[in-house]
Structure 1
């Protein structure tokens, strides 16, 4: 049944924030290959390309871009911050939007000092106020990064009022971030929810279903390793992924 449209007193100042930690895991067998992997990630996720992704996010949620700041870092990593508004604004109104609506991304390539495991993490925040919703960008961002592990949070903060003065702490139906996820993405991952409904806080962890070793090897294939090495590399990769997914160090996986 379609819900009647809320009639508000003044501006809808509910703040809605969608946050991601997205992880890509890879095995690079030598120091040279690990350096090549980091260089590849830096090229693939440069500040320029990340800016393009965030501009598409703004278009997807129907936001007006006010300002963009971007930075590549040495030796690796990039950051982009984009200030947005619900609609086109007059110059004198810009300040009112600075602390309310923004999109940011920060990247963190790193590697295990001994085992050849390399991990790329992208942290993304889409924060809006008013009618526009960051949830509209959920599927686009998941598809843009094709991550092995995703830790995502959605939170609605503050309140607005209807015309009679009654406080409204959330203006849409939701009991899980999965409600807004495309079916093909839901089916591609193992998902766990940890939600605090009374606080309008929603948390979903995602771990990719399929594990094909060739997808995790940089500049090599499974055929380049002995069966014993294949078993060891598979164990190392799964250990890394399970620990990231569970958010803690875990007992070693046995061969």
Structure 2
């Protein structure tokens, strides 16, 4: 399916990518935990999220129809963008008709556990497109746009379109795994697992960082002031948090 398909009418396949990332860090005191939430809330406010989603929209060749944004108290933000693959301006008309409507949404959820001192920042991104646009090409950008320690991704193609001869087509591009759309150098940094149902055009991939550089996970804490035992304890807490999110089970 490398060549462009010749279709009867237009491509009305719906392609949905659900992308969840988790950024983990260690905040020792209640003051540090509060400041971490404030830092994340400011770093990824709705204006910053709009910039990220606008870049994503440009990458997939879509155009923005409408933007809705909201920042929440005490923390969190949401952005929804309505997009279209193309527009049609009928001759002699003053209105614009939009075809292949789609949307992109993002929601943030910063939180921390006061006992373990582990803070987790979760970002949920959903990209739904209709037509030739596929959101898979944006994965490297999304992974790089956030500090991604644990990632879960779901990609599904729904509906069908028709060839010129009337044959139903339930997929318009070749895919065996979401990992095919992620840079190989990026994949080297993660342990990645697939759970796919190709006969249903459903693909699931989850990833967790292979190695932890402790200094990158400390918030308001100087690593030089920590004992060897304390460093190991913090690393164990971080790994436990990542493992539980990765496998979807409390251990």
Normalising by structure 2, we get a TM-score of 0.94
Deviation at 1:136, TM superposition (A): 1.7
Residue 190 of structure 2 corresponds to which residue in structure 1?
189
Residue 19 of structure 1 corresponds to which residue in structure 2?
18
Q: Does 1:74 align with 2:78?
A: no
**CA offsets, 1:168-212, max 9 Å, x none?**
000000000011111111111110000001001111111112211
**CA offsets, 1:146-185, max 9 Å, x none?**
3001001111011111111111000000000011111111
**CA offsets, 1:64-109, max 9 Å, x none?**
1000000000000000000000023554524x65xx4100000000
User: Which of 90, 93, 99 matches 2:97?
Assistant: 93
2: CA distance, partners of 1:26 / 1:194: 28
Deviation at 1:227, TM superposition (A): 2.2
Residue 39 of structure 2 corresponds to which residue in structure 1?
40
2: CA distance, partners of 1:218 / 1:175: 39
Q: Does 1:141 align with 2:142?
A: yes
Q: Does 1:105 align with 2:106?
A: yes
Moved more, 22-31 or 183-192: 183-192
CA-based RMSD: 1.4
Residue 246 of structure 2 corresponds to which residue in structure 1?
245
**CA offsets, 1:110-148, max 9 Å, x none?**
111311110000000111011111112111111111300
Residue 213 of structure 1 corresponds to which residue in structure 2?
214
2: CA distance, partners of 1:177 / 1:139: 11
Residue 253 of structure 1 corresponds to which residue in structure 2?
none
2: CA distance, partners of 1:158 / 1:167: 10
For structure 2, the 5+ residue unaligned runs are 90-94
1: CA distance, partners of 2:122 / 2:225: 27
1: CA distance, partners of 2:87 / 2:44: 29
Q: Does 1:56 align with 2:60?
A: no
How many residues end up aligned between the 2 structures? 246
